[in-house]
Amino acid sequence: MKQVYFISILVLSTYCASFLEEQPGMQNKIYSIKLERTQSQARKSFFDFITTGQHFRSKSDIMDDIALTQTTQKESIKLYNFKNTQYTGEISFGGQENKFKVIFDTGSANIWLNSARCHDYGCKNHKQYDGQKSLTYEHLGYDLDVEFGTGELMGEINADTAYVGNVKIRKQEFAEIVRENGDVFAQSDFDGIVGLAYPTMAAYHFNPLFDNIMQQKLLDRNVFSFYFSRQENSRTSELTLGGWNQDHFEGELHFHNVANKYYWLLEANNILVNGKDVGLCKGGCSVIADTGTSLITGPSDDLYDLIDTLNIDDNCKNLKELPTLTFVLDGIHYDLDAHDYVMKIDSYGNEIAYGSFASTDSFLEMGAGCECIGTFMPLDIPFPQGPAWILGDTFLSKYYSVYDRDNDRVGFARSK
């Protein structure tokens, strides 16, 4: 049996010399989890990993339906950020003290953690899950293998009690990585991935984390939202469960219906450059809101046309003249200017985000002699989900995003 799943941890492979409402008065259960932004990983392995099929085979029948539980907790938990590339937060398995640093990823649906049974470097270099130390561990025995151009991950799907803050999710299925060939996660700054896409993407059609939260009726509203701060090395970024936090955005929150319940996929009317249609979204196109992807990606031909049209000078000489890039959804214009989509690469390959600086002059003075690039990458998502553009952290750090499973829609508003 074979199906294709995606894990959307996409980061920029870069070197200095080359590019690549909440309604007032509502008594909702809202949980806020502080996110940490992690360092960029210059690894092509990630690109291979997100675009590969995950082959799985069952050792037993799908387990019986899970009994539902309910809680009346209300809680807000503060979060953290690191370098304008990836955001991480904590999840616990088998006990609240057993914490893992993970990426909460709306572009994938499975949970991956390194297992204590894995002795490869990539596993040993991170926090490892040990089911023998958990009283709530359940062995399910479903294999999940991922083969890609530069390596392979082999995992086994089992279940345990998960905690996001003090939100307790019983019998949560997740993949324990028991063998890792290649360096997909070896150099990463996180211990795992928590997928928040639709269950149609999940291995064996097990429930992703948020679907179990819904099934166990842990929230009054089946909504979660992300605030991605541009304050490096801070704990100001936030994942909110049960609603959204108006303190993190300004203006109106605009919602757009999900067009395909696999990714959080939306239909765009157009993509404009300085207000002009340059053929990037002929007759409309699809876009995906993806918190696990650092960049904006697009179909190869369209993406290269965009890069040519923007014409970003390698020496950053035309920063003040660069055009505005606009994604149009349901007639709403979401603008990105150079401050949002340009970064520098220093002589060590470190990324210096334009958006982290108060002015153009201060950005230009930082790391003189290095290259300016756009935060874009070509990615050809196959049919039937593709072709599609991915709105990664470049977009989502400017626009607060809300993911509403009650109404199958995504909301955007300008972040503060």
Q: Which residues are catalytic?
A: 105, 290
Which structure tokens are listed for 65? Answer: 């339906």
The dihedrals phi and psi of 261, each to the nearest 5 degrees, come to -80, 70
Tallying the residues shown for the chain, one arrives at 416
Which structure tokens are listed for 5? Answer: 């799943």
How is 16-32 classified by DSSP, letter by letter? TTB-----TT-----EE
Q: For strand 270-273 and strand 276-277, is the pairing parallel, antiparallel, or unpaired? A: antiparallel
Q: Are 157 and 188 in contact (CB under 8 A)?
A: no
Neighbours of 229 (CB within 10 A): 21
Neighbours of 384 (CB within 10 A): 7
Cis amide prior to 299 (ω within 30 degrees): no
CA dihedral 276→281→287→293, nearest 10 degrees, is -80
The rounded distance, in Å, linking the Cα atoms of 342 and 118 is: 39
Q: How far is CA 342 from CA 70, 82, 84, in A?
A: 46, 18, 12
The rounded distance, in Å, linking the Cα atoms of 399 and 411 is: 9
The rounded distance, in Å, linking the Cα atoms of 247 and 227 is: 10
Q: Which residues of 308-329 are buried (b: 16+ CB within 10 A; e: fewer)?
A: eebebeeebeebeebbebbbbb
The rounded distance, in Å, linking the Cα atoms of 397 and 237 is: 9
SS3 228: coil
Distance between first and last Cα of the chain: 47
Environment class of residue 254 by beta-carbon count within 10 Å: exposed (0-12), middle (13-18) or buried (19+)? middle
Place of tokens 């970064």: 343
Taking alpha carbons only, the member of 186, 126, 187, 192 closest to residue 155 is 192
